[in-house]
Amino acid sequence: MTFTFKIKIDGSEKPPIWRKVKVNSTISFDDFHLVIQVLFGWHNYHMYQFSPSGWRSTPCIMYIYEDDAEVEIRPLSDPDTFPYGERYDAEKIKLEDYFRQLKQKMVYIYDFGDDWKHTIELIEVSDETVLYPVCLGGKGSNLEEDCGGIWGFYNMVEAINDPKHPQHKEYREWLGMKRGEKWDLNEFDLEKTNEMLREVRG
């Protein structure tokens, strides 16, 4: 089967930043993580987790390191122990193991410091099989690593596009932007995104 999801960046506005993607229901959550990385221009620098409603909700599906394998599905008795609750290996859990009905939602958190939250909603199920993930559409520009989450991102864009902003030069040098180049919050390249998705395994 094929699942179609709409994925939206929490806190994004004018425009809301979202992507619609079609993937095989049998891919693992770790592969789905890689798909989301491509969809929003991430570079897979940080840790991630999937859970029903974000922090403190279970089950928590994430990458499990080898030396942490013994707690893969063991309840964590201390509620203050990160990441709160039962943990499952994202490489072993398939999308179809969790998603069972239309409109079902999940939260994907990327970079536990910047705390990027993505709301995932299953919007269509079909009997077809796709050879690789396909982005069907989207709105809003790609994002940037290590900029401080959604509010840091908007501050960065404001600084980049305003020559009088005190951080204007700093951000432009950090991103290697050319003279006169602007950050377009509406820019999204569907064709390029799908070219990159063809390289994602699963």
Mean pLDDT of 122-150: 96
Q: What is the pLDDT of residues 77-99, one digit of tens each?
A: 444 444 445 778 898 889 998 99
DSSP lists the bridge partners of residue 20 as 6, 137
Which is nearest to 85 in space by CA: 65, 112, 58? 58
pLDDT score, position 66: 66
Whole-angstrom Cα distance, residue 70 to residue 64?
A: 10
Torsion angle of alpha carbons 113, 69, 32, 154, nearest 10°? 0
Token pair, residue 160, equals 């980049």
At 68, the pLDDT band (50, 70, 90 cuts) reads low
Torsion angle of alpha carbons 62, 21, 146, 163, nearest 10°? -170
This prediction's pTM: 0.89
Q: What is the pLDDT of residues 4-59, one digit of tens each?
A: 999 999 999 989 999 999 999 999 999 999 999 999 999 999 999 999 999 988 88
Whole-angstrom Cα distance, residue 142 to residue 88?
A: 29
For residue 5, what are the contacts with CB-CB under 8 A and spacing of at least 6?
A: 20, 21, 22, 23, 120, 121, 122, 123
Question: Has residue 115 got a pLDDT over 90?
Answer: yes
pLDDT score, position 13: 92
